[in-house]
Structure 1
Amino acid sequence: MLTARQIKALRYYIGDVSGNQPFWSNGKAYVVLNALFFPGIAAEVSRAAEGKYLDPELLSDTLRLEELLRDLLSAFQSCTVSSPVKTFRVERMSDFSLCRSRKTTVSFTSTSTDGYLSSYSDRKGIALLEFLLHPGVPCIDVATELPHYAKPEEAEILLPPALCLDIEEAPLTEEHLAIKDSDGLPPQIRCVIRPSTILSPPERLERAVPEGSEAGMRVYEALNSGKRPSAEDITLYSNWKADFIANLFSV
């Protein structure tokens, strides 16, 4: 059973929020939470190009952000599926390329038992992913773990970052090729994936310098406005979030 803090973090991640407090009322905080796990700013650039909002408020209090992410990560320690299950995800090809090269999930990864949709107008360049989950694999069946689930139709099973993956390419059938991205193009690849365990965490590093999170807020503001952030802010933010995520996983 999840703790109250873990439940709060999980609800926040899936967008089950209320109130008007700038941080806690953000129903799409997952956009930023996941981008933090990717190196550089390519993930932020692609999401901004898709019209997604990068909320600077999430970086305004890094201790609060760290506490939230630690609570969410800790929830995976006690959660798995009760029997083998197959889930599906349509991923950005740019994100999947990094996932494939690392042989791990890069960020939190939302999957569904409900199969694919016919089109994905919010993503450009897509990969079809099918996950074969078995008992013991760290994952959260959201409908099972939350006392009240606002979106049961999504049939969501959430995977953690740094989950080791055995990835095997599979054929694209006519049915798969009928699925379209935002440009009306078919999937570039289909893969069957067998997750196993989470990578062992590294030793704790020095805490990331606060100037990097402040630079990140400026990066978000620039990208939200369709502008290119300054090179200095990109470097500061990229270095900061690399240290921030390393510390998040450290013992």
Structure 2
Amino acid sequence: MTDLTKWPRLLVTGEPVTREQANEILIRTDGLDPCINDQAWERTIKALAAEFGRPPAFDYGRLNGNPDAWREHYAADEAWRASMGILDLHYLGNARIASSWLGGPHGWCDWDGRIGCSNYNIGKWPTTEEVTEEWQAIAAAFPYLTLHAQLVTDEGEGEVAATWAVQGGKAALVEPIERIAEVHDDVAGMAFGLMFNAHRERGVSVARLREALAQVASHQSGEAS
């Protein structure tokens, strides 16, 4: 099997999903731990998550006299993430809430329900087995997804290294086929955003993010009961 190389380009095409399905995907496939330059947006994201039970940001002053405070905070945060059904993804997560990447928020699902991407790489050094496991976790979590995905070597300049099919709650490697999408790099758009868009790291409105968090919290709570 072809080596995926250090930064393979992700190509995805698929059937669109509903608004509610997009909400679920984009909350549960986002790490919800933004590391961005837009500190106001980062604080807003954390405050919104706190509305739905996430522990507030850790107060390092608590470490005085309580060396276990950080461990307790981490355990509480992990419990909240589990309650929301957030997937542990290293390569295939969506970053549609916030991203410091030059191109801004990105992912294989968008808030309007579109499924597809061709403009960013994953990395570093993923293995076919790791990516397969992540597509399987995604397929099981969102059985309504129908898509094909590929990884193209050398940041999109090489060959199709692997192709996956996702449908009916299952994901599997399939026989290699021609590229399902053209590699797209909007260098001019990225440069424009960097220079002229102060909010380029923001991918969603406060109202829509609150809607999505409320929906997922309610749905996951209903499943748990």
- Pair in the same fold by TM > 0.5: no
Q: Which TM-score applies when normalising by structure 1? A: 0.25
Q: Which TM-score applies when normalising by structure 2? A: 0.28
Q: Which structure ranks higher in relative contact order (CA pairs < 8 Å, sequence separation ≥ 6)?
A: 2
Q: When you count strand as a share of all residues, which structure comes out higher?
A: 1
